[in-house]
Structure 1
Amino acid sequence: MAAAAIEVQAGDRAVRVSSPDRILWPQAGITKGDLARYWADLGEVGLRGYRSRPVHLHRFPKGIDADGFFQKRIPSQRPDWIHRAHIVGPNGTSSDALCPTDVAHLVWGAQMGTIEFHPWPTRSWEPEHPDELRIDLDPSPGTGFDEARQAAGLTREVLTEVGLTGWPKTSGKRGIHVLVRITPSWDFVQVRAAAVALARELERRAPKLVTAAWWKEERGERVFVDFNQNCRDRTLCGAWSPRPTPTATVSAPFRWADLEHVEPGDVTVANGVRHLASTGDAHGGIDDAAASIDGLLEWADRDEANGIPDAPWPPTFPKMPGEARRVAPSRRTSQP
């Protein structure tokens, strides 16, 4: 028989959590109640990456050993204090997504069995202009976290050259994410163009380590810089978000000084709050670091002037101006 519902205090609000003893991570023994308290105890630090942003939910109501599902549209049955943000996808369809304005929203997400929270790079009041450039360093088969570390260090150097500050976090799995706060002066197409230019520059400087190749068959044993994570409606798991891994790892922020020592399994739902208390807020200054992507866009213009086509877009997007052929090299014919 399921345990009685509990109330988890999140700031000024008490959030009802049903079946708090339901096991979400069987190997780690972590329950839904544990997850709700995790977000409540992280407080404002945990909220920072989600505040006033549309958020997609990756829900596992029966735990990570059962099938999960992504939910972009906020459930119709919700407390009246839950905030929403209107979002429009690449094909023009629209919906209302969860838009956290306080910690209680994340605790409510946990009540819904949400393991991963995926925030948009936009704020609710500026839906067409991202305020965050996201660099997803994804190790291909044959590479791992050590290579992601090296790629992250190079990423930091290149960002510094163009006046940008990167804020690293583990992905909670094999890779590293680098978040870059930018002024919301460019649309999604321009921000993606900046990400493509950065990815190509990283590959030029370390072609044996990094690749900007969209097609998997061209990547080899290198770290892929997934520029298309900056497209409209594409999201990464946010800072402090748990992952559906056996040990309940977390996408944990860290400082550049710790790059050589951090490991993807260091921070979990079980120890995340203690980790924050002992190491401090690694991303404490991120909201004050917004800057211009003009330097990256100059590289994008340079590449276009040199006859380099735009990189392929995801298949859910219409064909874009200047885009390379959206066909894997091994499947192409001789026709243009």
Structure 2
Amino acid sequence: MAGDAVVLTVPGPHGDREIRISSPGRILWPELGITKLDLANYIVEVGDAFVRANGDRPVSLQRFPEGIDGEQFFSKNPPRGAPDFIRAVPVVYPSARSHPQLVIDEPAAAVWAVQMNTIVFHPWPSRAEDSDNPDQLRIDLDPQPGTGFADAVPAAIELRRVLGEAGLDAFIKTSGNRGLHVFAPIEPAHEFLEVRHAVIAAARELERRMPEKVTTAWWKEERGERIFVDFNQANRDRTMAGAYSPRALAHAPVATPVTWDELESVDPRDFTILTVPDRLRSVGDPWESFGEKPGRIDTLLEWWQRDTENGLGELPFPPDYPKMPGEPPRVQPSRAKKV
């Protein structure tokens, strides 16, 4: 109802903006009683760090009109009725179709997205003005059944060493669930497929060093109780929950940047909508300097070429992708043996 709406004043680079929040008392996280207004206020509190991490990028919105237990959908086109200060840029999807996607340039844009029932924000790894060429290399360390966050930590630490040997400065954040996301700022000099190959090269090097703990096996039946290095998150139109984005899980977790020094002592369950604003005020933003010294992926691409010459070629793409050059058959190994 219109009478239930409240108006939030959101500071930003162009001054204060007034953002109307309808149904502010709608419960989004039932176990904790966190409301739509609580989420909007969270975004206001973390606004500068949120925009620093996710701004000036095409972003997909994961929207939950009835809260985390209700129906959800992704908005890739900007929702109707966007204020005039919110922009969109055209991006090209794997299908070769082009559509506009929302760009967040200031905290008020993210608060407006909350008004449109967004809970999770999924930014692209490329800038709005050059969406075909990522300026972030992203690696998702995904615990498999029988493993957990504690198992992902040593893999992340070793991955940092791998990337450092390739000339890249790695940053890390919790996924908001059980995994870890390792990012490295890179020069936007290569398109998505080449960046994917760089990620695969780094993943294979990590797997060689930790074969009992880490796997690049795409098929779940081959992964075992290891950390899966999800190389396909490096593909075009594949995104992760952005830094400081909430997640749609019962305890209202947040994908939270951490320092490498604190990684071995943190518990990702401690980072929630209720706690992260205080953490930012007391600890600061571990990603504040992200992007100041972008590296190049030339060394990783040399590793990719070396591995290719040694018989390690392309890996499977997601099932909704068109068949890609050099890709192995998209057949589950156990089924392929029966053919």
Q: What TM-score comes out, normalization by structure 2 length?
A: 0.96
* Secondary structure of 1:193 counterpart: helix
Residue in 2 that maps onto 1:128 = 132
Instruction: Provide, for residues 130-158 of structure 1, a one-character-per-residue CA deviation record: whole Å limited to 9, x for no partner.
Output: 00011100000010011011111111111
Residue in 1 that maps onto 2:95 = 91
The answer to whether the Cα contact below 8 Å between 2:149 and 2:178 also exists between their aligned partners in 1 is yes
* 1:225 corresponds to which of 229, 248, 272: 229
Residue in 1 that maps onto 2:180 = 176
| 2:174 matches 1:148 | no
| Gapped regions of structure 2 (runs ≥ 5) | none
Letter in 1 for 2:8: V
| 2:40 matches 1:36 | yes
From the superposition, tell whether residues 309 and 28 of structure 1 become closer, same or farther in structure 2 (CA, over 3 Å).
same
* Secondary structure of 1:101 counterpart: coil
* 1:24 corresponds to which of 3, 23, 28: 28
Q: Distance in 1 between matches of 2:2 and 2:150?
A: 43
Report the CA distance between 1:328 and its aligned residue.
1.4
Q: Distance in 2 between matches of 1:207 and 1:73?
A: 41
* Secondary structure of 2:68 counterpart: coil
Report the CA distance between 1:299 and its aligned residue.
0.7
The answer to whether the Cα contact below 8 Å between 2:52 and 2:288 also exists between their aligned partners in 1 is no
Letter in 1 for 2:177: K
Residue in 1 that maps onto 2:240 = 236
* Number of equivalences: 335
Report the CA distance between 1:309 and its aligned residue.
1.7
* Secondary structure of 2:176 counterpart: coil
| 2:276 matches 1:272 | yes
Instruction: Provide, for residues 261-280 of structure 1, a one-character-per-residue CA deviation record: whole Å limited to 9, x for no partner.
Output: 11111111112111111111
| 2:80 matches 1:76 | yes
| 2:62 matches 1:58 | yes
Residue in 2 that maps onto 1:326 = 330
RMSD: 1.3
Q: Distance in 2 between matches of 1:325 and 1:331?
A: 11
Q: Distance in 2 between matches of 1:257 and 1:87?
A: 37
| Gapped regions of structure 1 (runs ≥ 5) | none
Which one is further off, 270-279 or 228-237? 270-279
Q: Distance in 1 between matches of 2:221 and 2:28?
A: 36
* Secondary structure of 1:202 counterpart: helix
Q: Distance in 2 between matches of 1:195 and 1:326?
A: 20
Report the CA distance between 1:32 and its aligned residue.
0.6
Which one is further off, 103-112 or 315-324? 315-324
* Secondary structure of 2:82 counterpart: coil
The answer to whether the Cα contact below 8 Å between 1:3 and 1:20 also exists between their aligned partners in 2 is no
Report the CA distance between 1:2 and its aligned residue.
8.0
Report the CA distance between 1:284 and its aligned residue.
1.1
* Secondary structure of 2:138 counterpart: strand
* Secondary structure of 1:241 counterpart: coil
* Secondary structure of 1:265 counterpart: helix
* Secondary structure of 2:31 counterpart: coil
* Secondary structure of 1:49 counterpart: helix
The answer to whether the Cα contact below 8 Å between 1:313 and 1:323 also exists between their aligned partners in 2 is yes
Q: What TM-score comes out, normalization by structure 1 length?
A: 0.97
The answer to whether the Cα contact below 8 Å between 1:240 and 1:250 also exists between their aligned partners in 2 is yes
Which one is further off, 204-213 or 73-82? 73-82
Instruction: Provide, for residues 33-78 of structure 1, a one-character-per-residue CA deviation record: whole Å limited to 9, x for no partner.
Output: 1111111111211111221100001111111111211111111222
* 1:195 corresponds to which of 199, 202, 208: 199
Residue in 2 that maps onto 1:305 = 309
Letter in 2 for 1:329: P
Residue in 2 that maps onto 1:212 = 216
Q: Distance in 1 between matches of 2:49 and 2:289?
A: 11
Identity of aligned residues (%): 50
* Secondary structure of 1:107 counterpart: helix
Residue in 2 that maps onto 1:7 = 7
Letter in 2 for 1:172: G
